[in-house]
Amino acid sequence: MPEKVYITGKVEGVTKSELKELIQPEYKMASGVIKSMKYLVLAEDPGEKRMEKARKYGIDMISWEKFVELASLEDKLNEARS
């Protein structure tokens, strides 16, 4: 079963719906910050309220760059952007 994540902020050259597809099958995009998710991924200009909620729930926050590395997204992102 894929782990749930939420990506807050902007990812250059890729829409949120494209991101949902790119992170599968390893991860699934949560509809917001929820207790059962693995990571809150911080992209450019992340939402403060989402970060507060993640802290409250004890959810790990990681940078977009770290998530790209963890999820092996580099090639998928390059394809989506071209």
Q: What is the mean pLDDT of residues 34-51?
A: 97
Phi, psi torsion values for 78, nearest 5 degrees? -60, -40
Q: Which domains does the chain have, with CATH numbers?
A: 3-74 (3.40.50.10190)
φ/ψ of 41, rounded to 5, equals -95, 125
The pLDDT of residue 55? 98
pTM score, two decimals?
0.91
Strand pairing category for 3-8 and 60-63 = unpaired
pLDDT at 52: 98
Give the pLDDT score at 54: 98
Q: What is the mean pLDDT of residues 27-43?
A: 96
Q: Given this model, what pLDDT does residue 80 score? A: 84
The mean pLDDT value for 7-23 works out to: 92
pLDDT at 77: 86
